[in-house]
Amino acid sequence: MKILAAMSGGVDSSVATARMVEQGHDVTGVYLALHANMKSDVVPDGPLTGCGNPRDRQDAARVAELLGIDFQVWDYAEVFSKLVIDYFLDAYQRGYTPNPCVHCNEHVKFAVLHKFAAEHGFDAVISGHYARTLHRSNSGTGFTQLRRARYRGKDQSYVLSAVGLETLERSYFPLGDAESKDVIRAEAERRGLGVSSKPDSYDICFIPDGDTRGFIEARLGKQAGEIQDENGKVVGEHAGVYGYTIGQRKGLGLDRSIQGKEPKFVIDVDAKSNIVTVGPKELLSVCSIRAVDANWLAPDINTGDALEAFVQVRAHGRELPASITLADGVMDIELQEQVRGLPRGQSVVVYREDRVLGRAIVETTRR
């Protein structure tokens, strides 16, 4: 096959690409420079994380040269800024807590690569994600299925759940059957790729220092408002609702004498009234979810009736048994056990065994 390989410069995408080359495929490597100066070869001191830093680009280029494949660098910083960073800022300003990685996979990485692949005669796109695709020729259903990775500790099906069926049909994940990340690192070492010891990145790629509140405040400015308790009493002041997320305990800025003996948590963020509400942890419990903008990946399953399945509401969270109904792109979900601290804007992904059935964005919850 003629394959377009997404190369981030990390161990996973490097091993995934090497496997495709070893299998005899015609592979072209692509590095997406998303939020750094792709023309710069100066690697600054200190930690560098995420898509687009010079060190990762250099590693990707070196691995491609070692494998003897064509390698290209695409500058998509402007697209990334408009479709991901602007979306991120807008969501927080509306009182939501978004999943930028999910949004990036859907609207930038996979969209860009698959568009190019279709226009230039590539048969497939591969990446180093830990997930599996069971293609229509093997699924027995006439369409491609998205499945969890064999190694659940690194499973990334949650962040891929927004990708559509047509895109998944041309997507392959060579690491989906890996036994562990340690096995992949050992393989990178054995192949001499020079990236086996690179650390994983868990932070938001465009906020490498982890200071989300500082990042947003620098771009949106301070927007002072009230912090109220569950009874409507003013207990503090905030500099912007974007600095708070449902379930948050630390950094509330409350006076100890006001807070009382029991810790307070953010239980609501109302962007329209510019009010953050805090209360006891008992008020964080959620039993019902309404989620919108559904991406349904299981056309063989009737959604007219309530569906018994499992949902996952965090990238590395546990599965929760639930009853789901779907109509007009809206999922109504009744949980069989409560979950605490679920912000609006998070992805809720529906699973049956290891198969991803669909995904939607949390709009409202009910205690």
**Token pair for 166:** 């047509």
Helix %, strand %, coil % of the chain (to 5): 30, 30, 40
* CA distances from residue 37 to 52, 74, 115, 216, 276 in whole angstroms, order as listed: 8, 11, 24, 21, 37
User: Which of 51, 101, 205, 287 is the catalytic position?
Assistant: 205
**Left if phi > 0, otherwise alpha if psi is -120 to 50, otherwise beta: which for 81?**
alpha
51, 101, 104, 287: the active-site residue: 104
Contacts of 329 (CB under 8 A, 6+ apart): 292, 293, 294, 360
Taking the C-alpha atoms of residue 192 and residue 45, their distance in angstroms, rounded to an integer, is: 25
Q: Report whether 63 contacts 70 (CB < 8 A).
A: no
Phi-psi region of 280 (alpha: psi -120 to 50; beta: other; left: phi over 0): beta
Cβ–Cβ under 8 Å, residues 162 and 348: no
Q: Is 353:145 a contact under the CB 8 Å cutoff?
A: no
215 within 8 A of 242, measured Cβ to Cβ:
no
Asked if 101 is an active-site residue, the reply is: no
**DSSP bridge pairs for 32:** 74
Q: How far is residue 129's CA from residue 143's CA, in Å, rounded to a whole number?
A: 20
Element of type H or E holding 325: strand 320-327
Beta bridge mates, 351: 310, 356
Active site residues: 104, 205
